[in-house]
Each structure stands twice: as C-alpha cells, then as structure tokens.
Amino acid sequence: MNSHYTKLVKNLEYLKLNQMALHLDETVDFMMKNQLSFTETLIKLTDYEIDIKEINMMKSMVKVAAFPHLKEVKDFDFDFQPSVNKQQILDFTTLRFIELQENIVFLGPSGVGKTHLATAIGIAAAKKRTSTYFIKCNDLILNLKKANVENRLETRLKHYAKYKLLIIDELGYLPIDAEDAKLFFQLIDMRYEKKSTILTTNVSFKLWGEVFQDTKIANAILDRILHHATVVSIAGDSYRLKNHLVKENKESNGQ
Ligand code: ADP
Ligand code: MG
C-alpha cells in the first residue's frame, strides 16, 4: 500500500466517512476497470455513505414514530379480509393522501386489522422521512389532560399538531368526558386541512356523541375529520379468532 492510499483512508476515517473507507478498494478497482472519471468515481464512493445515512435516518424515523409493531402491507392477508381493497391500501402507501392533507378512518370491529393497516401506512410514511407519530387515543387524551393541568396545553397541542401524519388508534374503546372531548377537538381543529390523521375506531359515526358525551363537540370533531377523508369500513371476522373460526366451521361441517 502506498502512503497516499494510507493517508486517504486515515482522512476518511477522521471525517467519519466509514463507508467510503470501507468501499475504497473496490471503487478504485471499478474505476480502473471501467475507466471512470474522477467525478464519476467520487459519486460512486459518496453514494455508499449516503445509502447508509438514508437507511439510518429511515430507521430512526420509524423508531420515533412509536409504532406498536412493525407490520407492513406485505404482512396483511387480503384474502382473509375481502372487504379491504388492496389497491386502495397500496395507494395510501404512496402518501398521496398526506400531500393532499387528507385523513383516513379505519372503522370496524375488533381484530379485523385496523391497527395493522394504520401502522403499515405509518411505516411507509416514516420510511419516506415523513414525520409520523402513533398514539392510542386514550394516551393522547391523558397527555393533553395532564398538560392542561400543568398549564402547558398549548405546547402539547402544538407538539401533536406538527406531525405530518398522526395515527390515533382505538377511538371509542373508552368513553371521553366532555371536558376531554374539548381538548381532543382543539387538536383535530389545529390539524384540520393542514396535516393528515389516521384514526381507527370500532364505533360508527352516529354513536360518537356517546363516546364524547357531548353531541355538539362530537359533531364538530366528526365534521373536521370527515371533510377530507377516506373511510375504510372493514366488515369481517377477527383475525385473532381465525383459528377458532376454522375449528368451528370444521366442527359444524362434521369434519
Ligand atoms: P384491530 O386493530 O382491528 O383490532 P389488529 O390490526 O390489531 O386489529 O389485528 C389483530 C391481529 O391480527 C394483529 O396481530 C394483526 O397483525 C393481525 N391481523 C389482522 N388482520 C390480518 C390480516 N388480514 N392478515 C394478517 N394479519 C392480520
Ligand atoms: Mg386495534
């Protein structure tokens, strides 16, 4: 090895350009073989560094988003849930709905894949470095409530309002009292026509008045969420009970 080569490796390591140092040999070989120009060679070498940076950035975006698991669209069995339109879900993963500041509501009973699909779309967004955050509705309300008590509601609202995609999971599993409903409304209002929200719920819209224990607030929330939204209604069996259902069918068929 000549001393220039050694010095270059040292420089790259000093600059923490480890990928460039790692791929230096093969890039020099490739350059000789294909008679690349200086610029072409540098592009090839710096691309190694950029690739790793992008992968790390993607990983940290996914981490920051706080998903409950890393299930993606490819892990979803569309044959099991025929009421879900695969093309529509794939279209969501292009993130066109985020560019249009539109919302998505997944509506359906427990176990049909609402959280799975919401997460899958969220992962697609985080991978493209769209600021994304996943939170259960109940935790969101508790956090807003706490912030309100501690006189920092505005800051907390702004925090949740800034995500380009906010996923609010499980609206309706627990009742929300009218005071808390107002906090929730403020967030939805701040995001309205500015940012995209994905909501999952097991409660049909006409019963939201009961969830929020205030029909007026419930309507104001619904208005803003549904104004620019795609509602994905999932009517089907719970995937969690899949194996039990198969067993039951077999039993009832005398198998
Ligand atoms: P929901 O939020 O509607 O209650 P989940 O999305 O949590 O339901 O789904 C329950 C479990 O079943 C999860 O582990 C999820 O990954 C899985 N699941 C649901 N539907 C499907 C499906 N069609 N294909 C593969 N896994 C599924
Ligand atoms: Mg769920």
Q: Taking the domains of the chain in order of start, what are their residue ranges?
A: 2-61, 73-241
Question: Using an 8 Å Cβ cutoff, are 141 and 172 in contact?
Answer: no
- Give the model confidence (pLDDT) of 16-51 as tens digits: 999 999 999 999 999 999 999 999 999 999 999 999
Residue 210 CA to residue 219 CA, distance in Å, equals: 11
Mean pLDDT for the stretch of residues 214-223: 96
Residue 136 CA to residue 167 CA, distance in Å, equals: 8
Give the chain's mean pLDDT.
94
What pLDDT sits at residue 246? 58
Question: Which ligand 1 atom is nearest residue 234's CA?
Answer: 3
Residue 84 CA to residue 190 CA, distance in Å, equals: 30
Question: Which ligand 1 atom is nearest residue 116's CA?
Answer: 6
Token pair in block for residue 77: 């069995």
Question: Using an 8 Å Cβ cutoff, are 134 and 167 in contact?
Answer: yes
Ligand 1 center from residue 223 Cα (angstroms): 28
Ligand 2 center from residue 111 Cα (angstroms): 7
- Give the model confidence (pLDDT) of 105-127 as tens digits: 999 999 999 999 999 999 999 99
Question: Which ligand 1 atom is nearest residue 113's CA?
Answer: 6
Among residues 43, 47, 14, 19, the alpha carbon closest in space to that of 31 is found at 43
- Give the model confidence (pLDDT) of 200-211 as tens digits: 999 999 999 999
Task: Kindly tell me if the per-residue pLDDT of 52 is higher than 70.
Answer: yes
Question: Looking at the domain covering 73-241, what would its CATH class be?
Answer: alpha beta
Whole-model pTM: value is 0.86
Ligand 1 binding site (Cβ under 6 Å of any ligand atom):
71, 76-77, 80-81, 110-116, 200, 239-240
Residue position matching structure tokens 């230096």: 24
What pLDDT sits at residue 250? 52
Of the pLDDT bands very low, low, confident and very high (cuts 50, 70, 90), residue 253 is: low
Of the pLDDT bands very low, low, confident and very high (cuts 50, 70, 90), residue 242 is: confident
User: Using CA positions, which residue lies closest to atom 26 of ligand 1?
Assistant: 76
Residue ranges in the chain assigned as alpha helix (H): 3-14, 18-22, 24-34, 38-64, 86-93, 96-99, 114-127, 137-149, 153-162, 178-191, 208-211, 215-227, 242-252
Task: Kindly tell me if the per-residue pLDDT of 248 is higher than 70.
Answer: no
Ligand 1 center from residue 97 Cα (angstroms): 23
Query: In a mutational test of the pocket of ligand 1, which residue from 239, 242, 244 has the highest number of ligand atoms less than 8 Å from its CB?
Result: 239
Question: Using an 8 Å Cβ cutoff, are 169 and 202 in contact?
Answer: no
Give the three-class secondary structure for 103.
strand
What pLDDT sits at residue 244? 73
Ligand 2 center from residue 113 Cα (angstroms): 7
Among residues 122, 121, 110, 106, the alpha carbon closest in space to that of 66 is found at 122
User: Using CA positions, which residue lies closest to atom 25 of ligand 1?
Assistant: 76
What pLDDT sits at residue 245? 63
Burial pattern 62-99, b for ≥16 Cβ within 10 A else e, equals beebebeeebbbeebeeeebeebeeeebeebbebebbe
Of the pLDDT bands very low, low, confident and very high (cuts 50, 70, 90), residue 2 is: confident
What pLDDT sits at residue 252? 52
Residue position matching structure tokens 């470095």: 129
Task: Kindly tell me if the per-residue pLDDT of 243 is higher than 80.
Answer: no
Question: Which ligand 1 atom is nearest residue 110's CA?
Answer: 4
The ligand placed nearest to the CA atom of residue 109 is 1
What pLDDT sits at residue 255? 45
Question: Which ligand 1 atom is nearest residue 118's CA?
Answer: 6
Classify residue 34 by its DSSP letter: H
Task: Kindly tell me if the per-residue pLDDT of 226 is higher than 50.
Answer: yes
Question: Using an 8 Å Cβ cutoff, are 109 and 237 in contact?
Answer: no
